[in-house]
């Protein structure tokens, strides 16, 4: 079991004046991994001499640590911490809105601080906090960090822990944050202040994502052991499931403007003034995009190779997931980098520097595998497969040409045929595609949705993996979020102090009433179907395989659409696919 400390000596004799960092709680069992961002911040502070503790909510949720909420609430009530930082979420996992869970935790912790001499400052960071800073500042967070926040967080912690506490001098914490870039907060008069962060440079990116990760310990073995213990049969996907997996972040950001995605805004909006951020046009229908632009920064192929060697030698990693939104970035530079990296991996394997069965996976766009005349780049797919590419996530989203062009998706220049051509080529060559699909596209007609489900299930039978986004989530910072012509479903949260009912945007309601009904009732129906399968398989209490979750969800969706004249045969095929998946069929060999 993890003891939640990566450096047991750092700050171990300090009783007061510490920092507590709290991870997000993913709520998923099939892809548990250390929360890279929070562990990165933790180690950055430790190396700079800031006494710091880390509360990992995923380890607690899975009973894999003795240091959970009860342990840390006792320390908070005793005044151990001057700063409490939390990685907050605005996401929906298996029907649960994670923002509600985070708000409840924040206020449970805040309720303890009244007994302390000097109330700790609650800080937050990451996409959900930075791109929805006003709401989080209204609902319990004191200070939000924008963009890559390691240096700014350190400077704030250093000032807080080395100068007289604001609570003892009668000052507000805002008096000590002057000059710190990349922050948002309300001053003593309640005015919202938004201070842009610094531009990310090649040197700063290299320090954070290459040099720093190789300088500290990560509890990979704890998480690998947890996955082995908690998982149902994970070998039911299209490709082999390898527990000894490490995530690598190699690209600063994705420049695309997909309507539903907010990743594009995280860094580019952090460098702007508040009045320059993405907004809704005065016609209340169109979006005014921010003018924030930032050069795409990547680790080089040799640096990726060095990270691969480091993790295999230090931890025994056998698999690597590049956690970038778009590994190839759709540019010649991005594609050439991966070609060079693949050749480097082949050289390492030939020389015995890494094992021949070390595998890789990533996420990228269909367009990255298309040449200038829409011809599939089979040579690139073959090279990646030869190097050990286990699978490749593709942001297909839909197999409807109309929906690809819809504002909520906005994948212009790509057709359903392009998607199928790339997927077919991968299957033919031996790489397993993971097809990412969004079921709740607001513009969907029942017919278009059913057609997408039909194609997706055919690909499951052919050996693909599938990743489902159930509803199209209302993510702050996404172009869709600022396009008010779409109706929103919300989740209510009651403020524990004021009693005010707060409406939290949850997902976009489909325009078609049949699709809207199906999506409104989808989470409960999908969970019932999954529970049924888990009971039949004897998997109660274990983490469901991702592929099983997806096919169970499709089963529930077709029933909810209640259109037997269109879905009867497809329901039979989905049932057949589920039975095949449960038997271990439809897998790449």
Beta strands, E only, 446-517: 465-471, 488-494, 501-508
Alpha-carbon span 443 to 486, nearest angstrom: 10
* More confident: 352 or 175: 352
pLDDT of residue 10: 40
Percent of the chain with pLDDT over 70: 89
Give pLDDT tens digits for 4-16: 323 333 433 333 4
pLDDT of residue 241: 81
pLDDT of residue 505: 92
pLDDT of residue 13: 33
* Residue 235: band (very low, low, confident or very high) from pLDDT cuts 50, 70, 90: low
Q: Across all residues in the chain, what is the average pLDDT?
A: 87
Model-level pTM?
Answer: 0.90
Does residue 586 surpass a pLDDT of 80? Answer: no
Cβ proximity of 11 and 43 under 8 Å: no
Q: Supply the CATH classification number for the domain 18-198.
A: 3.40.50.280
Cβ proximity of 73 and 109 under 8 Å: yes
Lowest mean pLDDT among 11-20, 114-123, 271-280, 485-494: 11-20
Question: What is the average per-residue pLDDT within 172-180?
Answer: 86
Does residue 239 surpass a pLDDT of 90? Answer: no
Question: What is the average per-residue pLDDT within 522-542?
Answer: 88
Question: What is the average per-residue pLDDT within 519-528?
Answer: 91
Q: Which strand (E) or helix (H) includes residue 81?
A: strand 81-87
Give pLDDT tens digits for 137-153: 999 999 999 999 999 99
Question: What is the average per-residue pLDDT within 286-304?
Answer: 80
498: alpha, beta or left, given left = phi > 0 and alpha = psi -120 to 50? alpha
Buried b (16+ CB within 10 A) or exposed e, 314-327: ebebbbbbbbbbbb
Q: Which strand (E) or helix (H) includes residue 361?
A: strand 359-364
Alpha-carbon span 106 to 88, nearest angstrom: 10
Quote the DSSP letter at residue 480.
Answer: G
Lowest mean pLDDT among 21-25, 50-54, 317-321, 328-332: 328-332
Residues β-bridged to residue 359: 319
Does residue 337 surpass a pLDDT of 90? Answer: yes
* More confident: 288 or 334: 334
* Residue 257: band (very low, low, confident or very high) from pLDDT cuts 50, 70, 90: confident
For the beta sheet containing 143-145, the strands, ordered from the edge strand earlier in sequence to the opposite edge, are: 52-55, 18-22, 81-87, 121-125, 143-145, 183-186, 192-195
Per-state percent for the chain, helix, strand, coil, to nearest 5? 45, 15, 40
Quote the DSSP letter at residue 551.
Answer: H
pLDDT of residue 376: 96
* Residue 278: band (very low, low, confident or very high) from pLDDT cuts 50, 70, 90: low
89: alpha, beta or left, given left = phi > 0 and alpha = psi -120 to 50? beta
């Amino acid at each position: 079991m993890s003891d939640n400390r990566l450096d047991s000596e750092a700050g171990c004799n300090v009783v007061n004046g510490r920092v507590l960092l709290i991870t997000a709680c993913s709520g998923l069992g099939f892809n548990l991994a250390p929360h890279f961002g929070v562990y990165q911040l933790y180690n950055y502070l430790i190396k700079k001499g800031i006494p710091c503790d880390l509360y990992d909510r995923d380890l607690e949720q899975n009973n894999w640590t003795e240091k959970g909420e009860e342990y840390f609430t006792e320390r908070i009530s005793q005044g151990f911490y001057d700063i409490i930082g939390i990685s907050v979420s605005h996401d929906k996992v298996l029907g649960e809105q994670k923002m509600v869970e985070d708000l409840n935790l924040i206020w449970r912790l805040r309720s303890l601080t009244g007994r302390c001499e000097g109330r700790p400052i609650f800080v937050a960071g990451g996409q959900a906090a930075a791109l929805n800073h006003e709401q989080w500042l209204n609902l319990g967070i004191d200070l939000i960090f924008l963009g890559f926040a390691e240096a700014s967080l350190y400077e704030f912690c250093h000032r807080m822990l080395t100068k007289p506490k604001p609570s003892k001098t009668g000052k507000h914490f805002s008096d000590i944050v002057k000059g710190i870039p990349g922050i948002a907060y309300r001053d003593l008069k309640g005015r919202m202040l938004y201070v842009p962060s610094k531009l990310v440079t090649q040197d700063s990116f290299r320090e954070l994502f290459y040099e720093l990760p190789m300088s500290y310990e990560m509890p990979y073995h704890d998480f690998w052991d947890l996955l082995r213990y908690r998982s149902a049969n994970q070998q039911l996907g299209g490709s082999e499931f390898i527990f000894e997996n490490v995530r690598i972040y190699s690209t600063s950001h994705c420049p695309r403007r997909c309507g539903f995605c907010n990743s594009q805004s995280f860094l580019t909006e952090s460098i702007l003034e508040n009045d320059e951020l993405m907004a809704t046009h005065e016609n209340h229908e169109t979006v005014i995009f921010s003018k924030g632009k930032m050069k795409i920064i990547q680790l080089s192929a040799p640096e990726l190779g060095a990270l691969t060697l480091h993790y295999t030698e230090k931890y025994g990693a056998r698999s690597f997931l590049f956690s970038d939104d778009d590994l190839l970035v759709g540019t010649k530079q991005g594609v050439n980098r991966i070609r060079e990296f693949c050749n480097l991996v082949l050289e390492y394997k030939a020389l015995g520097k890494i094992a021949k069965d070390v595998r890789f996976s990533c996420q990228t766009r269909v367009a990255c595998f298309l040449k200038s005349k829409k011809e599939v780049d089979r040579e690139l797919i073959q090279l990646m497969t030869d190097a050990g590419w286990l699978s490749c996530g593709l942001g297909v989203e839909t197999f409807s040409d109309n929906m690809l062009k819809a504002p909520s998706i906005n994948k212009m220049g790509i057709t359903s045929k392009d998607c199928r051509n790339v997927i077919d080529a991968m299957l033919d060559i031996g790489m397993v595609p993971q097809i990412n699909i969004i079921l709740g596209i607001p513009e969907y007609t029942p017919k278009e949705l059913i057609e997408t489900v039909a194609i997706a299930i055919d690909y499951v039978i052919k050996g693909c993996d599938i990743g489902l986004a159930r509803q199209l989530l209302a993510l702050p910072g996404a172009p869709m979020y600022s396009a008010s012509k779409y109706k929103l479903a919300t989740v209510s949260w009651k403020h524990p102090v004021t009693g005010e009912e707060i409406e939290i945007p949850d997902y976009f309601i489909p325009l078609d009433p049949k699709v809207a009904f199906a999506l409104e009732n989808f989470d409960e129906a999908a969970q019932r179907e999954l529970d049924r399968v888990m009971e039949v398989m004897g998997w109660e209490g274990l983490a469901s395989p991702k592929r099983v979750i997806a096919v169970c969800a499709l089963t529930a969706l077709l029933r909810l659409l209640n259109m037997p004249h269109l879905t009867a045969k497809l329901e039979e095929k989905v049932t057949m696919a589920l039975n095949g998946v449960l038997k271990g069929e439809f897998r790449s060999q």
